Amino acid sequence: MFVEWRQRGEIRGSLPDERGTTMTGVDPSRLDDQQLMKELETIHRTRHDTLLYGSIDALRAHNDRMAQLEGEFLRRNPRRMVAAGRTREGARDRRCGESTTPRT
């Protein structure tokens, strides 16, 4: 994972951990597409455990980082494929158990 460590003091959008060290990820705009996808996969994979078992500070930091990464992805991919089942109308029309993943 692409992580920068800073000693003492807060950095906007991040929180110090119990050792007084602040951890923040690399600015998403500096990641190439492959690195950005890897970061997104990692943060989405760890989301559930952070929600269930992380401290309030950990959850806040996770929220901030996820918003940064997702915002950068959307900025780079404004015309990404959207599955019909992921729209409000599509969700109403979808039957139980139907896939919402777009077919490629």
Task: Give per-residue pLDDT as tens, 21-71.
Answer: 455 689 999 999 999 999 999 999 999 999 999 999 999 999 999 999 999
Helix (H, G, I), strand (E, B) or coil at 25: strand
74 lies in a domain? yes
31 lies in a domain? yes
Q: What sign has the CA pseudo-torsion 35, 43, 13, 23?
A: negative
Q: How much is the pLDDT for 26?
A: 92
Other beta carbons less than 10 A from residue 7's beta carbon = 9
**Total domains present in the chain:** 1
pLDDT in tens, 69-83: 999 999 999 999 988
pTM comes to: 0.66
56: containing domain? 3-93
